A and B are shown apart, each in its own frame.
Chain A
């Protein structure tokens, strides 16, 4: 089975637009946000569903005819939704061009926990341990590489989620779902080559990160990548992929390179100017805009390992959930009709 989020009000297109038809936030919507079968969705969604359904099929055991357990791989949308219904959760969506550091950031969270509690947060489990370990391999001695690397996320993989459960010092549990998608897909959305309507991970996100490649930020491409970011934000806002219920973080990655380059002052000036432009242009349309600098895999002695990563993680955990998922239930009566009935009978239904 493959499922998507939708509303029990049949006129509501929250699954496509991320917005209640009555203009309410997901939290104020009186209808249950339920998990529905995909069969009623229109043809535009078909491709995504087929890809996801394929990924959602149970993987056969590798040469072992026994009892299968959870694959440990990246979660597809269906698996992610099940987790979102079970416990307190946050969806962290990471957007950026290829090699900007999206996957490296996700892996840095996992690697940090391998050494112990991270910034007063503790590791409480993961349904994607296999996926994390596969991706961490090229940055470890066991790979026999000369220098650490992160495998590229292939476009063929479509949309997936890495899962990590985190417990804070108040013992509150949060299931973090971190999106994984090939960077060039987002570039194509900004160029109108790909349909923005498929960006479910942005619609549903509790926190959206836009990664700016720090290496390029201090090179000849610095104006180009800033322009690409502005175009991406404009596309998302104009097409209502991002709106005032979203919290976003603009993340300057690879800050260790910037620190080692001796161009920190110029980079900081550029970032300050970019911040001003973004807030000026989008401050009234996007709910919250943060700015971060990170070095998820620092290669400099001056910048600590996982620099800035904890701050981003805490910013995400601090966000109010965009949606509170409920288990499938009978739809509540339409508000309008129930008001009509109660007015006619003189008593509430």
Chain B
């Protein structure tokens, strides 16, 4: 039986744990057709059960604590071929990945996982993109914002507003405030070279909270190109991740912090109907798709 070690990574609150919660619910309840099926329950399933319990109640899934690494093990079967495979993946706090950028090092267990993983799944939250905003366009952006004509929702209006209101004190560079795409490129660079790897690996990119990006009308790849253009160039040009695929995923179905949206989600009869996966221009609820693709590519 094939065994796949998959590295799950992404900055804090990028949707990793919500994905795992929804995935576990989907595999157990079988409300929707999936390309991966659960063969048997893992011995240690306390963590997974608590995640899916919160998820199906439309509760915020508890973020992984930085001190913990929850190792996820699932015995799965490819629905199309019957082939059985073991999936092993650590659920690590996104802080570990942000610290890889800011401290230039990572914990040994993360390093071990990185070096033995045969594939990587990288999570990016569609609404948590920090863009580099040059000072000299700031005035233009602030003016446009006053008129309500800002085209990009992802420019942090706090930054623009603050700068337009005559800043009090200049700030020193803080690595953790760097543009999102730069941090992600750096993480991927580190994950494709020693000591964390000996070469590139298949990469599945999940743009989470896709319900927030839907209004753009873009496919997940086009969205990445528009909102994280340097990362998009890196994926196509570096040669480090020639095998990669980009998905848009809404694992929660909406914003649990918005009362109206929450009420709507709670009303849905089958919780798995909240799930949406976008591949190119196709949409389906099979949350196992990014994993199945990755495990096939490994």
Using a CB–CB distance below 8 Å, which chain A residues touch chain B?
Answer: 59, 61-64, 66-72, 111, 113-117, 122-127, 129-130, 133-134, 136-137, 139-148, 165, 167, 171, 173, 297-299
Contacts and interface: CB of A to CB of B under 8 A. Distances in A.
A64 B196 CA distance: 16
21 contacts: A61-B104, A67-B105, A67-B196, A68-B105, A69-B190, A72-B186, A111-B134, A114-B230, A117-B229, A122-B237, A123-B233, A123-B237, A125-B189, A129-B189, A142-B159, A142-B171, A143-B171, A144-B163, A144-B170, A144-B171, A146-B166
Interface in B151-210: 159-160, 162-163, 166-173, 175, 177-179, 181-182, 185-186, 189-190, 193, 195-196
A216 B8 CA distance: 53
Given A64-B99, A114-B181, A125-B234, A69 B132 contact: no
Given A122-B233, A124-B233, A125-B185, A144 B168 contact: yes
A125 B184 CA distance: 11
A127 B238 CA distance: 12
Contacts of B101: 72
Contacts of B167: 144-146
Nearest to B189: A125
Contact of B136 (A114, A126, A297): A297
Nearest to A112: B230
B37 to A, nearest CB: 36
B172 to A, nearest CB: 8
A51 to B, nearest CB: 21
A117 B235 CA distance: 12
A59 B163 contact: no
B195 A67 contact: yes
Contacts of B193: 70
B230 A140 contact: no
B103 A134 contact: no
A272 B134 CA distance: 33
Given A140-B132, A141-B133, A141-B138, A69 B105 contact: yes
Contacts of A61: 103-105
B238 A124 contact: yes
Nearest to B106: A66
B135 A141 contact: yes
B179 A114 contact: yes
A316 to B, nearest CB: 18
B150 interface: no
A173 B233 CA distance: 13
A62 B105 CA distance: 8
Contacts of B159: 141-142
B238 A125 contact: yes
B104 A72 contact: yes
A297 B101 CA distance: 27
CB-based closest 8 A-B pairs? A144-B167, A61-B105, A167-B237, A67-B111, A124-B237, A137-B173, A116-B229, A122-B237
A136 B181 CA distance: 15
A64 B133 contact: no
A68 to B, nearest CB: 5
B268 interface: no
Given A66-B111, A133-B182, A145 B238 contact: no
Given A142-B177, A147-B136, 7 more contacts: A61-B105, A62-B102, A114-B181, A122-B236, A144-B169, A146-B166, A299-B136
A168 to B, nearest CB: 9
Given A140-B132, A140-B134, A144-B167, A66 B233 contact: no
A165 B192 CA distance: 15
B238 A165 contact: yes
A106 to B, nearest CB: 16
Contacts of A64: 99, 103, 105-107
Contacts of A142: 133, 159, 171, 177
B134 A148 contact: yes
A165 B172 CA distance: 27
B240 interface: yes
Contacts of B186: 72, 129-130
Contact of A124 (B104, B177, B196, B239): B239
B245 to A, nearest CB: 19
B243 interface: no
Contacts of A141: 133-135, 138, 159-160, 162-163
A70 B190 contact: yes
Contacts of B53: none
B108 interface: yes
A173 B290 CA distance: 30
A145 B104 contact: no
A297 B135 CA distance: 11
Nearest to A73: B104
Given A67-B111, A130-B175, A297-B136, A173 B103 contact: no
